Chain A
Amino acid sequence: MKPAFSVIFLTTLIGAAQGLFLALFTAQSYVLFGLLPQQNEHTFYAHGSLVALVFLTGGLLASFFHLGRPERAWRSAAKWRTSWLSREVIVLPAFMGAIFLYGLAHLGGWKLVLATLESGVVIDASVVLGAIGTILAFALFVCTAMIYASLPFLREWHSPLTVINTILLGGASGFSLAATFAASGAPELMRFFAAWAFIITLLGLVSRSASLARNRRLKPKSTVQTAIGIKHPQIVQKSSGFLGGAFNTREFFHGKSPSVLRSVKWGFLLAAFVLPALMLAAGLWANVPEALPLAFAVQYPGLLAERWFFFAQANHPQNIYYQAVT
C-alpha cells in the first residue's frame, strides 16, 4: 500500500493524545487511591488535557487531507453499524468532548462529590469523566486499529496484533509525552510517567516484533493463478491494459526499493522503541534526568516511520493485476 501521510499523522497524533490522557488519568487514579502523594496537580491535569486536545485536533485536521471531499466529512458517521471507519469518526469527537470536560472539571476545580467508597475514597466529577474518557480512549484505539485489521485480504494487517500494537504504541508515546510535559508542569510525576512509558515501550517492542515475525512468514493466499483463474505454474503479465499511470498503479504501491523498506524497519525499531527505552532507563536509573523529557522527541518520529512501514509492508492482492505497467 502507498503510505498516506494524512493517515500516518492522524494515527500517531491521536495515539499520543489517547496515551497522554490515559497517563493523566492513571496518575489521578494513583493519587486517588493513595499510591502517589497528594499534591495540587489540578492545573497539570487541565493543561495536560489541553495538550491532548491539541494533538487530537491536529490528527483530525490531518485526516481531512485524506478526503477527496472534506466538506462532506459529516456524512461519515452514518454507517457505524458496519464500518469501523464510521465508528472511529463517532468515537473521536466523543473522546475529545470527554477530555474537554475532564480538563474543565480540573481547571474549574469542580468538587462535586458523586459517591464515597467504603474506604473513604471520594469519587468526584473529574473521576467519572476520566473513567468515561478512558473507555473512549480504548474504544478509539480499537476503532482505529480495526479499520486495518478488519480487511481480510490485507493479510499483514489482518491480525489481533494490529490492535495490540495500536494500543501499546499509542500508550508508549502518550506516557513519554506525559513525562515530557510533566518535566515543566509536575516534576514529581515525571518519574512515574517515565517508568510506565519504559514498560509500555518494551511491551510495544515485543508485540511489534511479533507482528514483524508473523508478516515475514505470511504466504500469499491470492496468486496470479487465482486472480485470473488459470492453472499453470508460469503466468507472466504482458500488459496492464494501458500505457500511463492509473489509480490502481499509484494507490497500492509504495514505490520504494526493498533496501529503503529494510532501513525504515530497522530505523523505526531503533527510534520508536530501543532509543526511547534507553533514554527512559538512563533517566530513571542512571541519574540522567535530562534524558526523560527528550524520549518523546525521539519516539514520535520513530512512530511516524513505523506507520509508514505498516502501510508499505501491506501487499494488496490487486497488485497481482498490475505487475507489468505497459
Chain B
Amino acid sequence: MTQLALVIDLNVCVGCHACVTNCKQWNTSGSAGPLADFNPYGADPTGTFFNRVQTFEVGKYPNTQTVHFPKSCLHCEEPPCVPVCPTGASYKRADDGIVLVDYDKCIGCKYCSWACPYGAREFDESRRVMTKCTLCVDRIYDTALAENERKPACVLACPTSARIFGDIHDPDSPVSVAIRESAGYPLMPEWGTYPSNHYLPRRKTALHIHKDELQRADNPLKIDGLLPKPAKSEPSLDDVMSW
C-alpha cells in the first residue's frame, strides 16, 4: 500500500506563499478547469485555493515566535469527507491514498466540507462543485516531465525545502524518515482521521551550561592561588635544604 503525503517543516517555512501561488498556477491551468477568482482587483476579492499559508504568533511579547503554517488537504487515511458524499464523487484512491473529487459527479451539496474538520475543501463558485488539493495527481505521474519534476507544484516552489513529498507507508522514504527522526506530528489527532500529511515542529538549538561549568574546577592557575601562604615563622625552603 502506498500513501502519498506531504511533510511540512515548520522549522524552515518562511511564509513566502510561493507554494500557494505555484499551486494556484498549476491547478488553474489544468484540464479540470480554472480555479475561480472573483473580483480579483476589487475591494473584496475571493477565489478558490487548494493551499494557504497562515501565520500564528506563539507566546507573549517579547518571548514570541512567528509560525508560518501552510495548510492544504491532509489526505487522511480515514477521511471523514469520503463516506458522507452521497454520490461517490469524493473518493480515496486505493493505489496511492490520494483523496480526490470527481468534478463530473459532484452535485455541490457541500456536505463533505462540513465533514472535514480541517476546512481543506473549497466550493468553487464558478464550476459549482467542491474542489480540493489533488497532490497534483496530474503532475506526479506525468512521464513527459523529468523525474525530479514529478512532484506537487507546492513542493517544487518551496525555496527552503520546507515541503517533502513521498510515501509515508514506505519506512525508508524521506517523508517517513523525517516524521520518525524529526518528530513529525498530525493535526487534530483527537478526531481519529489519521492525516497523512505531517508537520515537523519548530526546533531550537539550545546549549545548556550549568553553573559549575562556568568555572573550571581543576584550573591549575586557580589551584596555585588557593594554596595556603606559609607564615614567616614557618621553615623556608632554605631551612629545609641547609641541613
* Chain A residues packing against B (C-beta within 8 Å): 1, 66-70, 72-73, 75-79, 82-86, 89, 147, 150-154, 221-222, 224, 226-230, 232, 234-248, 251-252, 316-319, 321-322
Q: Which residue of B lies closest to A319 (CB)?
A: B119
Bound form: Cα–Cα A12–B21 in Å = 43
Mask of B80-100 contacts with A, CB within 8 angstroms, 1/0: 101111111100000000000
- Size category of the B interface is 35 or more
B113 sits at the interface (CB 8 A): yes
Bound form: Cα–Cα A221–B54 in Å = 21
- Most B CB atoms within 10 A — which of A1, A154, A234? A234
B55 sits at the interface (CB 8 A): yes
Given contacts A228-B69, A232-B59, A234-B59, 7 further A-B contacts (CB under 8 A): A67-B109, A68-B108, A78-B87, A83-B84, A147-B111, A153-B191, A230-B56
Bound form: Cα–Cα A245–B44 in Å = 7
Residues on B with beta carbons closer than 8 Å to the beta carbon of A221:
190-191
Ordered nearest first, which 4 A-B pairs have the shortest CB separation?
A68-B108, A318-B119, A68-B128, A82-B83
Does the CB pair A151–B114 fall under 8 Å? yes
Of B165-173, B181-189, B231-239, the stretch lying at the interface with chain A is: B181-189
- Given the known inter-chain contacts A84-B84, A230-B201, please indicate yes or no for A68 contacting B111, CB distance below 8 A: no
In B113-143, the 8 Å CB interface with A consists of 113-119, 121-123, 125, 127-130
> CB < 8 Å: which of A76, A228, A246, A251 contacts B110?
A251
In B50-76, the 8 Å CB interface with A consists of 52-60, 66-67, 69, 71
Does the CB pair A243–B185 fall under 8 Å? no
B52 to chain A, nearest CB (A): 4
- Given the known inter-chain contacts A67-B107, A78-B88, please indicate yes or no for A232 contacting B128, CB distance below 8 A: no
> CB < 8 Å: which of A1, A78, A85, A240 contacts B54?
A240
Bound form: Cα–Cα A221–B192 in Å = 12
> CB < 8 Å: which of A241, A316, A322 contacts B53?
A241
A-B contact pairs, 22 of them (CB 8 A): A66-B109, A67-B107, A68-B108, A68-B127, A69-B108, A76-B86, A78-B87, A84-B84, A151-B115, A221-B191, A222-B191, A228-B187, A236-B57, A240-B54, A241-B17, A241-B20, A241-B53, A241-B71, A246-B122, A247-B125, A318-B119, A321-B118
Does the CB pair B189–A248 fall under 8 Å? no
Q: Which residue of A lies closest to B127 (CB)?
A: A68
Does the CB pair B86–A244 fall under 8 Å? no
> CB < 8 Å: which of B58, B80, B109 contacts A76?
B109
Does the CB pair B123–A243 fall under 8 Å? no
Q: Which residue of A lies closest to B36 (CB)?
A: A247
Does the CB pair A228–B56 fall under 8 Å? yes
Does the CB pair A247–B122 fall under 8 Å? yes
- Given the known inter-chain contacts A153-B191, A228-B67, please indicate yes or no for A241 contacting B86, CB distance below 8 A: no
Q: Which residue of B lies closest to A221 (CB)?
A: B190
Does the CB pair B119–A238 fall under 8 Å? no
A-B contact count (CB 8 A): 175
Residues on A with beta carbons closer than 8 Å to the beta carbon of B39:
244
A326 to chain B, nearest CB (A): 9
Does the CB pair B106–A68 fall under 8 Å? yes
- Given the known inter-chain contacts A85-B109, A226-B188, A229-B187, please indicate yes or no for A154 contacting B114, CB distance below 8 A: yes
Does the CB pair B187–A76 fall under 8 Å? no
Does the CB pair B86–A83 fall under 8 Å? yes
Does the CB pair A243–B52 fall under 8 Å? no
B30 sits at the interface (CB 8 A): no
B152 to chain A, nearest CB (A): 18
Q: Which residue of B lies closest to A152 (CB)?
A: B191
> CB < 8 Å: which of B45, B108, B119 contacts A321?
B119
> CB < 8 Å: which of B46, B86, B122, B123 contacts A85?
B86
Q: Which residue of A lies closest to B48 (CB)?
A: A247
Residues on B with beta carbons closer than 8 Å to the beta carbon of A240:
52, 54
Bound form: Cα–Cα A251–B113 in Å = 9
Does the CB pair B114–A89 fall under 8 Å? no
> CB < 8 Å: which of A73, A78, A226, A232 contacts B187?
A226
Residues on A with beta carbons closer than 8 Å to the beta carbon of B84:
82-85, 150-151
Does the CB pair B119–A248 fall under 8 Å? yes
A98 to chain B, nearest CB (A): 21
Residues on B with beta carbons closer than 8 Å to the beta carbon of A67:
107-109
